Amino acid sequence: MAEADTRAAEFTRRLQVHYDEMKWLYCELYHGDIQAFDYYCDMLYRCYEARPKKLRAWDRKREKNPAWYKSVDLLGMMLYVDAFAGDLQGVRAHLDYLQDCGINYVHLMPLLESPAGRSDGGYAVSDFRKVQPALGTMEDLAALSEDCHDRGMCVCLDFVMNHTSEDHEWAKRAKAGEKEYQDRYFFYDDWTIPNRFEQTVPQVFPQTAPGSFSWCPEAGKVVMTTFYPYQWDLNYANPVVFNDMTENMLNLCNHGVDVVRLDATPYIWKELGTNCRNLPQVHTLVRLMHMAAEVVCPGTLLLGEVVMEPSKVVPYFGTLEKPECHMLYNVTTMASTWHTVATRDTRLLRHQMDTVFELPKDYTFLNYLRCHDDIGWGLDYPFLQKYGMEEVPHKKYLNDYFTGIFEGSSARGELYNDAPQLGDARLCGTTASLCGIEAAEYEGDGDKLDRAIRLDIMLHAFLLTQSGIPVLYAGDEIGQLNDYDYHRDPLKLDDSRYLHRGRMDWESAERRKVPGTRENRIFTALRRLETLRREYAVFDNSADMWSIEPYNDHILGIGRYYEGQKLLALFNFSEQDQTAWINEDGRYYDLCTLEEASARAVNVRAHDFVWLITAFEKPLKKKRKSRK
């Protein structure tokens, strides 16, 4: 059979699997617009035909093992290309370093073309088909992806689907008065309907960008801008928008992107009289995009950015029969973790983990301690109120603690979007600086530095104990500190998130090889933990998990069990040594030392952890079932 015939047969086979559902959902959403649906199907074939031969082979390999991403071998790192290595070619030059870190999942933060000073860190895209010129070209992105694939690494990239920059071609033509392009956004002749929206739609940034609409003087109309005035919300009720944005996404996949991070997923459908969040049509759109990827590039995964509590996050997985996102962020655990660092009280974190443990094991979360964004205190305050923690004063305590205002705190962070009248603010800072490493080094206090490094390592051990994909933020592997240089940059000084988005310190990275340095201590410890996680069966993502009662609210206890191996993980969030009052029978070994240890009344050093593993024969590695 000719290659062209083989390709056509492959596309037809994949399309037929989803065609009936795809047509039904599309026509329900777009009121039976068959012409638009036919265009959509033709677009899918066009994208399939444009897919490079090497990526098609990649797809076929993954089609045989669709659960490849659920392997415990995956370890991610998120990075800004310019901050990490200058440009895409620079990242290619540092792939050896990423492999030395054990990284095989590289999340490139937004890098598509966006206007300087009005980009929100790259989240205001002016051209979905171009890389920011200072970072390289689409060809450079494809070359980097190919290099990563050759090393067994996958590439993740943000796809900003809720809005475009006001400098996007569609927006420029809308400003010029072309109705076809105004219909791709939400334009109104006056403030009547926008004011009705505002009655039910919460503000995202009430301090820095109040309201959800802006006046467009060029068009003489009001336009919806949920996030910032220079980010115009797309109208997905218009099938042209959905068709073209899906094609933009698939074009990124054809340049080697394996994981598409759907930015601001819950916001993409707007409806008057609602809060414009999590509407049913959002799930229809994501399901359609999932099927589009399975037809064109089945090696591709969708990662949903849904920053909400688990009960609202879980629906974005869809169902086992009709999946939507392959992966979602475990954002609530991240925020609850830092709450626990500040309060030394593990009850909320345990409650949060119990919620996650109850979810089906088929759900895959990305777990992290820090990311490019701020820490928002969207905690379970009804739960905290049981223990006397009221929302407004508690948020103030957390922010005072992590900015170092609270007496005795060694944390060093800064506030973001501070709203004193609401008693609310978000927090910025690197993992190391929030753990107290920055303050300890500044003071030259060796004992304080030891404790801070121990806390940093303990938090990463907790990260690696969870099921899912652990993701580091670039620099955390060497304990990189806050970067205050952004205060001197007029394009960044109003955004404190750049505090932890600093440039990679490559001289510091080299010190990871020097015994006794902060970089070496953290890097070596994390690599050891990551290696253990990959080697021992009990860390398999299919393991049973539960919380352990240590009868000590300073200690978080987690149990894991998989095919004969049992792990007891104990984490001390107190600055004092604590005892976990557990009473487990059987022989246990300290996994980090492989020395025999008791699982009764276990002492855990201040800000430290213990991994205790059973060995029914000897504490040796047990071969895991490979998903590769």
Whether residue 181 is contained in a domain is answered as yes
> Does 621 score more than 90 pLDDT?
no
Q: Are residues 6 and 150 both part of a single domain? A: yes
d(CA 185, CA 119) in angstroms, rounded, equals 18
> Does 296 score more than 80 pLDDT?
yes
> Does 108 score more than 60 pLDDT?
yes
What tokens were used for 323?
């999946």
Q: How far is CA 589 from CA 123, 183, 593, 608, in A?
A: 48, 64, 8, 17
User: Total domain count for the chain?
Assistant: 3
> Which one of the listed residues 263, 414, 441, 519 is annotated catalytic?
263
Read off the pLDDT of each residue in 544-567 and give the average, rounded to a whole number: 96
DSSP annotation of 623: P
DSSP H helical ranges for 101-257: 138-150, 169-175, 179-182, 192-198, 239-253
> Does 593 score more than 60 pLDDT?
yes
Q: Are residues 145 and 53 both part of a single domain? A: yes
The CATH code of the domain that includes 257 is 3.20.20.80
For the stretch 240-251, pLDDT in tens is 999 999 999 999
Residue 301 contacts residue 259 (beta carbons within 8 Å): yes
> Which one of the listed residues 305, 414, 424, 519 is annotated catalytic?
305
What tokens were used for 531?
């290696």
Q: Are residues 150 and 90 both part of a single domain? A: yes
Read off the pLDDT of each residue in 139-152 and give the average, rounded to a whole number: 97
> Does 435 score more than 80 pLDDT?
yes
Read off the pLDDT of each residue in 601-620 and give the average, rounded to a whole number: 83
In the residue annotation, 113 being an active-site residue is answered as no
Structural domain range at position 305? 1-106+125-157+245-265+284-327
- Strand ranges (E), 292-429: 301-304, 327-329, 364-368, 414-419, 424-428
1 band by pLDDT with thresholds 50, 70 and 90: low
Whether residue 488 is contained in a domain is answered as no
> Does 628 score more than 50 pLDDT?
no
pLDDT, position 623:
47
**Greater model confidence, 537 or 617:** 537
Q: Are residues 552 and 601 both part of a single domain? A: yes
**Greater model confidence, 314 or 611:** 611
The CATH code of the domain that includes 584 is 2.60.40.1180
Whether residue 384 is contained in a domain is answered as no
Q: Are residues 147 and 209 both part of a single domain? A: no
pLDDT, position 2:
72
Q: Are residues 2 and 130 both part of a single domain? A: yes
Q: Are residues 137 and 191 both part of a single domain? A: no
Whether residue 366 is contained in a domain is answered as no
> Does 526 score more than 50 pLDDT?
yes
205 band by pLDDT with thresholds 50, 70 and 90: confident
pLDDT, position 209:
82
d(CA 204, CA 207) in angstroms, rounded, equals 9
Q: How many CB atoms lie within 10 A of CB 66?
A: 14
For the stretch 445-488, pLDDT in tens is 999 999 999 999 999 999 999 999 999 999 999 999 999 999 99
Q: Are residues 146 and 29 both part of a single domain? A: yes
pLDDT, position 625:
47
In the residue annotation, 549 being an active-site residue is answered as no
Q: Are residues 41 and 135 both part of a single domain? A: yes
> Does 222 score more than 60 pLDDT?
yes
Whether residue 564 is contained in a domain is answered as yes
